[in-house]
Structure 1
Amino acid sequence: MPGEEIDKRHPNRGGAARPRPVSPHDILRKTFGYETFRPGQEGIVTTLLAGRNVLAVMPTGSGKSLCYQVPALARGGLAIVVSPLVALMQDQVAALKLAGVAAESINSAQDREENVAIWRRVAAGEVRLLYLSPERLMTERMVGALARLNVQLIAIDEAHCISQWGPAFRPEYDMLQTLRQSFPGVPIGAFTATADEATRRDIVGKIFGGDAEVYVAGFDRPNLQLAVSPKDNAKQQLIDFLDGRAGQSGIVYALSRKSTEEWAAFLVSKGFRAIAYHAGMSAEDRAEAQSLFMTEKGVIVCATIAFGMGIDKPDVRFVFHADLPSSLDAYYQEIGRAGRDGSPADVKMVYGLGDIQLRRRFIDQEEGGDERRRREHKRLDALVAYCEAPECRRQNLLFYFGEESPPCGNCDVCLDPVHLVDGTAEAQWVLEAVKTTGQRFGAAHVADVLAGKSNEKGDTLRHTELPVFGIGKAQGRQHWQSMIRQLVGGGYLAIDVAGYGGLSISPKGHALARGDGSFRYRQDPVRTSRKAERARKLVAAVEEGGVSDALLQRLKSLRAKLAKERKVPAYVVFTDRTLIDMAAKRPLTRWDFGEVHGVGESKLQQFAEVFLAEITRHVQQESGVA
C-alpha cells in the first residue's frame, strides 16, 4: 500500500505486521505527485507524525486535506476521517483511489451490502483511510468495533461545525469530544478554513481537552475583490453584477430552498445557464447538479449553504450573496469557493434590514440553548459591522480573525470610497463611554449612556453620573448605535463573541483615544427609521415584487376564511396594503405584528395569534425546517 513498508517483527493489535514509517516527503512525491509541501503544511504533518494533537485553520485552497492524508499514510494502520457531507466524502475517496490509496467511505448513499463489504475490508486491514459522518461514527457499536483495530490517526474535517452547528442540529458533532477517551494515544487533527478565536478555543476545549497545537495560517485571499451593497432590487443588482461575465462559473447563495429555485429560474429566463442546489433535492439530482458545475464552464449554481463545502473547482470566478449569511465565519467559508486558482475573482453581497431581522429570528428559534443563541447573535453583530464598515473591508474581515492588514485597494470601499465626514471627537466620546463603563457592556447600553437614556442597569451602576452620560443627546440613540457599528467595523472596538457581547477597545482604538489619528464615518448609515423603512419596504414590495407571492396568497386565504366566519368583506379584516406589509415584515411575535401597517390594538388582540401561526408555518416550510 502507498505510504508503508512492512516490518514483520512488530505485530499490531489486529494481528498484522506493524508498518515501518516512510518519509512524508516520499509519500508527497510518489503518491500525490508534489515535490514540496505548501507553506504551513509540513509543520502540521510533523506534529501529527510525532503523535500530538493539532487544530489547523487554513484558508480554502491551501491544501488542508494533505495535512492529514500524508501522516495517515506515513503512520500506517487505519486513519478515520470525520466529514460532514456524503458528497464531500465521496469526492475525497474518489481522488485518493485515483492516487492509488486504499480509501473508503461507509455512508447512507450506499446500499447495505456495499457498506458491509467495505467494513470487511476495513476489519481485514486493507483500508488506510476510512471516511465517516459523525452520525455514522458516534455510535457505541462503531466506536467499539474501530477501537479493536489498528487506528493510528483521527482527522476531523470542517471542524468549525463542532462549534457553530450546535448540538441541537447535529448532536453527534458534540459527541466527538469523547474520541480522545475511546482512542487513547491516537493523535487527532481538526481542520477548518475558518474559525475565529472563540471557535478555536471551543474546538480545542471540546475535542482536545485543551491539549493541542494550534496552527493558524493567514486568512487573506488577496485575489478576491470584496463588495457589499444595501439590498435595493436584488434581481437587478444580480443582473448588473453579471454584466460581462458570460461564460464564467459562479455561485449565487440564497437563504431558502425555494429561493434558490426561483433565482435559478430567473437567471435562465435572462439567458444564463443556471441550476439550483439545496438539501431538499434528491441525492441523484444533487449529484447531477454538482457534476454539471464541476465539469462544464459557464454554469451558475443557485444554492443554499448545503452546496460548497469541500468543492474544489479552481475557476469559480464569482460568488454573489443574495441574502445575508449567518456570520462572518460562514461568509468567509462561502466566498472561499471563488478564485481557488489564484486568479482574480469577485464576491458581492446585498443585504437589507429584513435579512438581519430574519437571521435574528432563526437564531432565536434554535434549540441549542441560551448560551449558543447569545453567541450567534454576537457573530451576526460582527457581520453587520462588516457590511457597514466605512473603511477597507478586507481590514475589517481580517481583524475579525485576529489579523491586521493595510488597506487592500481591492474592495469596494477602497476602490470607490463612501462619503465620510470627520467624527474623531464623537468617536472619542464612544471610546470614553466604553472605557468608563468597564469595557464589558454591549452597543445598546453604551448608546444609551451617550444619548442620556437612563435605564435600570445604568441607574444601579451609576452610569448616569458619568461625564459622558448624555453628551450626545442631540444626536440620538440611533446615531450612536451606527457610530459604534462603524467603530467595530473599523477595528477600533472589538465584540466579545465568547463572552456576553461586551465592547472592548482595541490597540487601534486606544491610539485614537489618545489623539493619535482620526476617525471618519458615514453619515448615511444603512439603518433607517422604522417609519421610513416601513414605507420603503412597502413600495419595494408592490413595485419590485419583493414579497413572497406564496406567503401573500396564504395570508389572503386566511383573511377570506376569517371574513367568511364573521360575515364581513375581506378588506374589513385587513386591507391588501396591510397584508403586503405583513408579508414583507414576516412578524413572528406579537410586538412585531403590532408594527404592521393597519394593525391597531383591537385587531392585534383578535388576529395576532392566527396570522402569526400562519407566517411561522410558511417560514419553517420555506427554510426547510418543517
Structure 2
Amino acid sequence: MSQSEILREYLQQYFGHDDFRLGQRQVVESILQGENVLAVFPTGSGKSLCYQLPAIMLPGITLVISPLISLMKDQVDQLSQRGIPSTFISSILSEEELLKRMHDLRQGKYKVIYIAPERFYSEGFIDALKGLHVSFVAVDEAHCISQWGHSFRPAYLRIKDLIEQVGSPIVGAFTATANRRVQEDIVRLLGLKEYRLFVSGFDRPNLEFRIEMPRDKQEFVLKFVKKNLGKPGIIYAATRKTVEDLYSLLINRGIPAGMYHAGLSSQDRVIAQDDFTRGKTTVMVATNAFGMGIDKSDIRYIIHYNMPRSLEHYYQEVGRAGRDGKLASCILLYSEEDYHLNRALININYPSVALVESVYNRVLEAGDKGIALDVLLKGNISKQILHSAVRKLIEYNYVKLKSGVIYPFLSGRKFELTQEEIDQHKKVELEKLDKMVEYCLSKRCLRCNILEYFNEEPTFTKCGSCSVCGLAADGTKRKFIDDLLKGILNVNAQTHVSNTEETGEADAALLDVLKRVRERIAQKTGVPRQAVFDDSTLERMAALKPVTRKQLFKIDAGIEQRKVELFADEFLLEIHRYLRKKTIV
C-alpha cells in the first residue's frame, strides 16, 4: 500500500474525512518524512489535523504545546473518542490528578500529550519526558513565541530548550496569524536550522468587510440583529460592562442572546457556549475571551462593537464566520473613542515593574498557603492596575491561580522581570493599535489592506465586497458574490463556457493574474508550478474564462479531479474578480 493510500485510510478511519483540505496533505507528508515545518494557515482551515494525523502514525509520543487550556481539553476529548490515548497537563489539574497523569505518562500510556507552557518551569516534568521516546513536538499558536506576535507568552521561549532535552525530535509550528517578521522570529527562537514553510492564502472571499461609523452604536446593533433574526452571529465588545449592557439591550427586546466574558463562572461560560453552539441562542455578546475552538460553521455575521487592538486579533476573530463557505458579514463599528479606550487598556496592562515585584513579594510571604486574589487586590492602588500586575506574574510564571487563591509557581524563585521588557512589549502593542486605526480609516480596499499586512500580494485592487470598494444598498453585489461562491462549489452547475470565446486567444492581463495565483499556490504548498496547472491549461483558462468547476472540466477533460479539488477554487475566484471589474464595479 502506498503512503498516499495509507494516509487516506488513517484520515477516514480516525477523522472521518475522504480527502485533505488545501495544504494539509503537504504538511503531513513533510512531517512524516522527518522534516520540520512552519505552517501559517487561516483560522478554520484545519491546522490541528496537520499535527494530529502524524502523531498517530509516528512511533513514540507527540507533545502538543498550546496556551489554550479549554482547546486542549476539547481536542483530548475528541482524540480519546477516536480511540487515540491522549491527555493534557496544565495548572488547572488537582495535585492528585497531576501525579496520576505523570505516572501514566512515565508508563507510556499516552500517544498524544498536550502541555500548557508553564510546564517548562517544572524540572520534574522535563525529567519525566527525558525517559520517553518523543518523536514529534507540535507548537500550536506558535506566534506566542514572538514579541511581535499578538499574544506573546514568555514561557514559549523555553520550547527550544525542551526540544533539545527530549532528543531534538521533528518540530511542527502552527499559527493562523503571522506576518513575515513573526515567521522569522518563530524559526529563530525554536532553533529550526532546516524547515519547510507552508503559508496558506489569507484571503477569505466569502467574508464581506465593512467599517461603519454610526452615531448610535447600540441602535445600529439592534437594527442589524433584528434584520438578521435567526442567523447566528457574534458581537465582540472591549469590556465586560459593554458586553453586559448589549446583552441586556437584546434580551429586553426579546432577542435570544447569550453573554460570555471572563468575569462569569466557568459553569456559566460553558452553558453560554453550548447554548450558542446548539442554536438555542442565535447571538453571542462577548469579549475576546470567547471564540477559541468554537465548532460552529454557520456563523453569518460578526460585529466588533469596539475596535480590536490589532489586525491579528481582528482577523482571528472574524475568521470564525462563514466557515461553511457561504457569505458572512464582518462589521467593525469605528469611533475615535475606541482608540483612546484601547490605549488606556494597554497602559493598564503594563504596570511598573516595581509594583509587579511588590505584589510578588506579598505572594512569597504567604508561602504554600497562598493568598486570596480578592485580598491581594485590596489597597489604595487601582484594582485594575493591581489585577494587571497579577496577570504579568501569571504570564511570566511567577505565580499560579487556583480556585481564587494565588500561590508561588516555584518556591523562592528570584524576580528577574525588568522595566525594559515591560516597556518593549507595550511599545509593540501600541504600534499594532496604530496599524488597526490605519485600517479603519483607509480609503483603499479593506481586503487588500488585510492581505498586505500579512505579506500576501493581492491579485486585485478592488474586491467588490468591502465598504471601501462599495456595496449596493439593494444587496445586488452581495447576492452576486454569494451566487458566484455557490457556483464554484457546484461541479454540476448547469452553466457552460461561452461559445463566442471558444476560438479566442488568451486574455494577457488575466493570464498574468492566473500565473501569479499559481506561483502563490506553489510557494505555500511546495508543489511545483507545472504540477499545479501547466502553462497550456492556464492559457485556455485565460481564453475561455471558466467560472465553475464544471466549466473548468469542459475546457480540458484531462484535468485531474484531485487537482480541481485542491487548487481550482483560487483560480476560479480570480476569474470572477476579473470579470466583475467589467460588469458591476
- Tell me which residue corresponds to 2:168: 185
Three-state SS of the structure 1 residue aligned to 2:39 is strand
Three-state SS of the structure 2 residue aligned to 1:81 is strand
Q: Is residue 293 of structure 1 aligned with residue 276 of structure 2?
A: yes
Matches of 2:150 and 2:165 in 1, distance apart? 20
Matches of 2:304 and 2:63 in 1, distance apart? 34
Structure 1 residues 358 and 138: CA distance shift in structure 2, 3 A: same
Matches of 2:57 and 2:459 in 1, distance apart? 37
- Tell me which residue corresponds to 1:401: 454
Match of 1:201 among 184, 189, 193: 184
Structure 1 residues 409 and 21: CA distance shift in structure 2, 3 A: closer
Matches of 1:28 and 1:313 in 2, distance apart? 21
Q: Is residue 140 of structure 1 aligned with residue 123 of structure 2?
A: yes
- Tell me which residue corresponds to 1:378: 431
- Tell me which residue corresponds to 1:222: 205
Question: Where does the alignment leave 5 or more consecutive residues of structure 2 unmatched?
Answer: 351-420, 474-585
- Tell me which residue corresponds to 1:470: none
Matches of 2:19 and 2:149 in 1, distance apart? 38
Q: Is residue 415 of structure 1 aligned with residue 398 of structure 2?
A: no
Structure 1 residues 21 and 132: CA distance shift in structure 2, 3 A: farther
Worse overlay, 112-121 or 80-89: 112-121
Matches of 2:68 and 2:191 in 1, distance apart? 23
Three-state SS of the structure 1 residue aligned to 2:300 is strand
Shift of 1:29: 2.2
- Tell me which residue corresponds to 2:346: 363
Superposed CA deviations along residues 309-329 of structure 1, whole A, max 9, x for unmatched, are: 222211111111011111001
Matches of 1:67 and 1:197 in 2, distance apart? 21
Match of 2:336 among 324, 330, 353: 353
| Amino acid aligned to 2:66 | S
Three-state SS of the structure 2 residue aligned to 1:42 is helix
- Contact 1:21–1:76 (CA under 8 A) maintained in structure 2: no
Structure 1 residues 225 and 126: CA distance shift in structure 2, 3 A: same
Shift of 1:349: 0.6
Matches of 1:38 and 1:308 in 2, distance apart? 22
Q: Is residue 387 of structure 1 aligned with residue 440 of structure 2?
A: yes
User: RCO higher in 1 or 2 (8 Å CA, sep ≥ 6)?
Assistant: 2
- Tell me which residue corresponds to 1:90: 73
Matches of 1:324 and 1:28 in 2, distance apart? 40
| Amino acid aligned to 1:376 | E
Match of 1:104 among 80, 87, 90: 87
Structure 1 residues 294 and 76: CA distance shift in structure 2, 3 A: farther
Matches of 1:343 and 1:113 in 2, distance apart? 47
Shift of 1:131: 1.3
Report sequence identity in percent.
41
| Amino acid aligned to 1:154 | V
Shift of 1:189: 1.1
Matches of 2:164 and 2:150 in 1, distance apart? 20
Q: How does 1:514-525 map to 2 (within 5 A)?
A: none
Superposed CA deviations along residues 61-103 of structure 1, whole A, max 9, x for unmatched, are: 2110110001111112111111222211111112212222112
Shift of 1:163: 2.4
Structure 1 residues 166 and 70: CA distance shift in structure 2, 3 A: closer
Shift of 1:47: 1.9
| Amino acid aligned to 2:17 | Y
Larger radius of gyration: 1
Worse overlay, 394-403 or 290-299: 290-299
- Tell me which residue corresponds to 2:216: 233
- Contact 2:146–2:152 (CA under 8 A) maintained in structure 1: no
- Tell me which residue corresponds to 1:262: 245
Shift of 1:168: 10
| Amino acid aligned to 2:444 | E
Structure 1 residues 21 and 319: CA distance shift in structure 2, 3 A: closer
- Contact 1:177–1:208 (CA under 8 A) maintained in structure 2: yes
Superposed CA deviations along residues 521-554 of structure 1, whole A, max 9, x for unmatched, are: xxxxxxxxxxxxxxxxxxxxxxxxxxxxxxxxxx
- Tell me which residue corresponds to 1:58: 41
Shift of 1:397: 0.9
Superposed CA deviations along residues 142-193 of structure 1, whole A, max 9, x for unmatched, are: 1221121111111111222222588997432333332332233211211111
- Contact 1:104–1:127 (CA under 8 A) maintained in structure 2: yes
Q: Is residue 305 of structure 1 aligned with residue 276 of structure 2?
A: no
Shift of 1:265: 1.6
Matches of 2:459 and 2:223 in 1, distance apart? 30
Matches of 2:150 and 2:453 in 1, distance apart? 25
Superposed CA deviations along residues 22-63 of structure 1, whole A, max 9, x for unmatched, are: 943332122112222211111111222222221111012211
Question: Where does the alignment leave 5 or more consecutive residues of structure 1 unmatched?
Answer: 1-19, 419-626
Shift of 1:308: 0.9
Q: How many residues align?
A: 399
Shift of 1:231: 4.9
**TM-score in terms of structure 2 length:** 0.64
Shift of 1:202: 1.8
Cα-Cα RMSD: 2.6
Three-state SS of the structure 2 residue aligned to 1:412 is coil
Matches of 1:34 and 1:363 in 2, distance apart? 43
Q: How does 1:420-459 map to 2 (within 5 A)?
A: none
Matches of 1:84 and 1:53 in 2, distance apart? 21
Matches of 1:220 and 1:297 in 2, distance apart? 31
Shift of 1:298: 4.0
Structure 1 residues 293 and 162: CA distance shift in structure 2, 3 A: farther
- Tell me which residue corresponds to 1:41: 24
